């Protein structure tokens, strides 16, 4: 073993110096080649606008140097994507050029050059996260373009219980019963506010209430309208609908179905007003606007009448004889006009009217249109 080592030493020492120099040169060349294989690559350079270049360059020198070989530079906001294959000695560099993106979120406005394809990617680069109900304008999947403006809307919901007053409305109706006080209004029904108890939810966008939703209404009382009467000369009190053959011409009733030889009976009577909570008169035919109390011996129940003042300023209108008043014992030339409120009956006072008996004792006219006896 010792002899072999000695023979090898003597052999090496006996080699010529030129051979040693050649071996050193070959070793250095191999080292350089290995270094080049480790650092140098055939690099394919592409850009987001479609340009493509191929160069032989050392990756370790940095991407900026590699791009400078083909006249390109990396600006603020640009993104470089590298794919390296050392075994093949190849690599690829893709330059995704940044664009100016403006973002407003949480009352702050920020701008930066970034490389992002969509709004969602841009928000990730800005480090902005969205809550489950938040949204953006434009939407997250919208394409990012140069100088795009993105707004982040923060959305939250607030649940609460409401107790809300529902104010009543005022309904104005006209009538000729106020002929004695034409400049005054008459309140025949007082208004009453309603109220609402409910569970509600507010949708709040960027700190402002955008909408309110009623989740559960567990108590509600509807308001009662206030009804006010105002004077209008000749406006009929009654809303009884007469037969189609009947009409009014110059405040005088006309019955086209009557015989031309017959004359319509007309009485001049004292008129008063009355109100009763009962639903039917003495005849059982009903009480409502357009029903009157008379002496049935003079004017039979169910008779179709038309009642007006001689000057036409007061018009009770079409009426039906359905009730009898205690006055008939002393004065059968008396008509008591029914009103659906005490205030109107009092406003009627006492006046003189013309009572036209258009059709005598025809019970089919004992109802208003659409109103039953009940």
Which CATH number fits the domain that encloses residue 78?
Answer: 3.10.20
Quick one: 90 and 113 in the same domain? no
Domain end: 55, 70, 96, which one?
Answer: 96
**84 in a domain, yes or no?**
yes
Distances (CA, A) of 73 to 57, 65, 83, 125, 264: 15, 9, 19, 21, 111
Pick from 113, 103, 116: nearest CA to 144: 116
| Adjacent-strand bridge partners of 113 | 100
275 and 164 fall within a common domain: no
What CA–CA distance (Å, rounded) separates 137 from 205? 13
For residue 363, give the DSSP letter: G
Residues 136 and 164 in one domain: no
Residue 199 covered by a domain = yes
Tell whether 258 and 358 lie within a shared domain: yes
Residue 24 lies in a domain: no
pLDDT beneath 50, residues of the chain: 364-374
Last-in-domain residue among 167, 199, 230: 230
How many structural domains are present in the chain? 4
Same domain, 73 and 91: yes
CATH of the domain at 200: 2.20.230.10
In a domain, 331, yes or no: yes
Tens digit of each residue's pLDDT (9 = 90 or more) over 190-247: 999 999 999 999 999 999 999 999 999 988 999 999 999 999 999 999 989 999 999 9
Beta carbons of 114 and 99 less than 8 angstroms apart: yes
Are residues 161 and 149 part of one domain? no
Same domain, 312 and 279: yes
What's the CA gap between 79 and 98, in Å, rounded? Answer: 7
Q: Are residue 90 and residue 117 in the same domain, yes or no? A: no
In a domain, 249, yes or no: yes
pLDDT of the residue at 367: 46
Residues 167 and 277 in one domain: no
Q: Which residue has the tokens 């100016």?
A: 100
What is the domain range of residue 361?
239-365
Q: Cα separation of 30 and 48, whole Å?
A: 39
DSSP string, 213-229: EEEEEEEEE--B-EEEE
CATH of the domain at 316: 2.40.40.10
Q: Does residue 115 share a domain with residue 48?
A: no
Same domain? For 319 and 270 the reply is yes
Q: Which residue has the tokens 């009577």?
A: 269
How far apart CA 152 and CA 170 sit, in angstroms, is 46
Q: Does some domain include residue 353? A: yes
Domain boundary among 230, 256, 288: 230
pLDDT at 38: 54
Note whether residue 8 is domain-resident: no
Residue 257 resides in a domain = yes
């Amino acid at each position: 073993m010792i002899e072999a080592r000695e023979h090898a030493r003597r052999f090496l020492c006996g080699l010529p110096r030129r051979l040693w120099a050649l071996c050193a040169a070959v070793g250095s060349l191999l080292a350089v080649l290995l270094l080049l294989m480790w650092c140098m690559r055939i690099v394919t350079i592409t850009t987001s606008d479609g340009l493509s270049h191929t160069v032989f360059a050392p990756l370790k020198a940095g991407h900026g140097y590699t791009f400078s070989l083909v006249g390109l530079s990396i600006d603020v906001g640009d993104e470089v994507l590298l794919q390296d294959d050392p075994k093949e000695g190849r690599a690829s560099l893709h330059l995704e050029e940044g664009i100016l993106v403006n973002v407003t979120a949480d009352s702050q406005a920020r701008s930066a050059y970034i490389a992002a394809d969509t709004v969602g990617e841009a928000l990730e680069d800005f480090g902005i996260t969205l809550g489950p109900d938040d949204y953006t304008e434009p939407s997250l999947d919208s394409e990012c373009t140069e100088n795009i403006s993105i707004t982040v809307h923060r959305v939250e919901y607030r649940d609460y219980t409401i107790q809300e007053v529902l104010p009543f409305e005022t309904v104005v109706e006209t009538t000729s019963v106020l002929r004695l006080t034409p400049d005054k209004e008459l309140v025949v029904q007082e208004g009453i506010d309603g109220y609402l108890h409910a569970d509600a939810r507010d949708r709040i966008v960027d700190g402002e209430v955008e909408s309110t939703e009623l989740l559960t209404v567990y108590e509600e009382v509807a308001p009662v309208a206030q009804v006010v009467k105002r004077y209008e000369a000749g406006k009929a009190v009654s809303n009884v609908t007469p037969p189609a053959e009947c009409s009014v011409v110059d405040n005088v009733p006309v019955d086209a179905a009557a015989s031309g030889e017959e004359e319509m009976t007309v009485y001049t009577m004292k008129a008063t007003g009355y109100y009763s909570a009962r639903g039917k008169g003495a005849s059982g035919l009903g009480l409502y606007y357009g029903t009157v109390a008379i002496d049935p011996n003079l004017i039979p129940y169910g008779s179709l009448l038309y009642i007006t003042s001689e000057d036409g300023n007061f018009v009770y209108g079409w009426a039906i004889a359905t009730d009898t008043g205690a006055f008939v014992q002393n004065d059968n030339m008396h008509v008591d006009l029914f009103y659906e409120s005490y205030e109107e009956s009092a406003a009627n006072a006492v006046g003189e009217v013309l009572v036209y008996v258009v059709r005598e004792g025809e019970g089919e006219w004992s109802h208003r249109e659409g109103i039953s006896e009940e």
